[in-house]
Structure 1
């Protein structure tokens, strides 16, 4: 594997095309991240154009200047939740999977959460997805499952697994 560079994205315009392709690819491949296939490129681009906000930190992993993955850290802004953040939309390009990119992105998000004085991270993922193994290996604790949480591409209602980690 080539050198993996992880950078924070503060302006989406330079990366919107590649991020849109990544989102479309993982959704069309069956990922459960809020969209259903087939995802139109236009809808994917529209999502990315609205994602950045002061409370959303976006990291992108690149290999040879090609987007290989991304992760979002959503800082909770409610007064009773300023100690926590949510991990969202961890994606790895299919051509770069099994190379540690997801793990590196998770570690980068955790580091940033600590810098932002966040002591609790939460996330959820579809039951049975490979990401469950990653989260457990990073010492995230499973809280439980919510049945019939998200509609799958086949029309089934899939459960989601909720995890947390105290930093």
Structure 2
């Protein structure tokens, strides 16, 4: 399914160079109805500012930014972040954030490949507990269950849909073995 896709980390410099492509994925997801912290319509400038902040976090060693890149076109079609920086009493934990796959690239196993790569990167970074949250009842919730994450619970009215209205959020975790 993902034979023409490469999952790889971006260096801080590459993250800066690919802000436009990363923003295109984010904007597509928000306009497609994904509740990923942004309201619709998401302006290019706002998306670019978000990714500049992510690039700064990569440069500071606070997060890892992985992308799914089409081997033929070179286009970035998906992304996920591993947020390494945690409170001092949680050095073993990381958050998975902004797992996004462009609408035109879905149903090809890219989300599952991104999640496996995120787990591997987190484990390599010495993390043994991962957490994430997602919209209850959505495709991402089903994906996380399929790739072995454990549902912790549901928080009603946690966030807003991009076009307004409350949505519930499901919290997941995954235990990794110590490397």
SS of corresponding position for 1:159:
strand
Which residue does 2:52 correspond to in 1? 49
Report the 3-state secondary structure (helix = DSSP H, G, I; strand = E; otherwise coil) of the residue aligned with 2:17.
coil
Shift of 1:153: 3.3
Distance 2:31 2:154 in 1: 24
Q: TM-score, normalised on structure 2?
A: 0.89
Q: What is the DSSP-based 3-state SS (H/G/I as helix, E as strand, rest coil) of the residue aligned with 1:99?
A: coil
Matches of 2:95 and 2:31 in 1, distance apart? 24
Match among 128, 131, 145 for residue 140 of structure 2:
131
Question: Shift in Å at residue 139 of structure 1?
Answer: 1.2
TM-score (norm 1): 0.95
Higher strand share: 1
| Structure 1 segment 1-167 matched on structure 2, within 5 A | 3-10=4-11, 11=13, 12-52=15-55, 53=57, 54-63=61-70, 64=72, 65-167=74-176
Distance 2:24 2:163 in 1: 22
Q: 1:3: how far off?
A: 1.5
Task: State the Cα distance separating 1:61 from its structure 2 match.
Answer: 0.6
> In structure 2, how many angstroms separate the alpha carbons of the residues matched to 1:87 and 1:153?
20
Separation in 2 of the partners of 1:79 and 1:130?
33
Task: Say which SS state the counterpart of residue 48 (structure 1) adopts.
Answer: helix
CA-CA distance at 1:155 after TM superposition: 2.4
Q: Are the equivalent residues in 1 in contact too, given 2:33–2:163 (CA < 8 A)?
A: no
Q: How many residues align?
A: 167
- The structure 1 segments of at least 4 consecutive aligned residues displaced by more than 6 Å after TM superposition are none
Which structure's relative contact order is higher, taking Cα pairs within 8 Å and 6+ residues apart? 2
In structure 2, runs of 5+ residues without a counterpart are none
Q: Which runs of 5+ in 1 are unaligned?
A: none
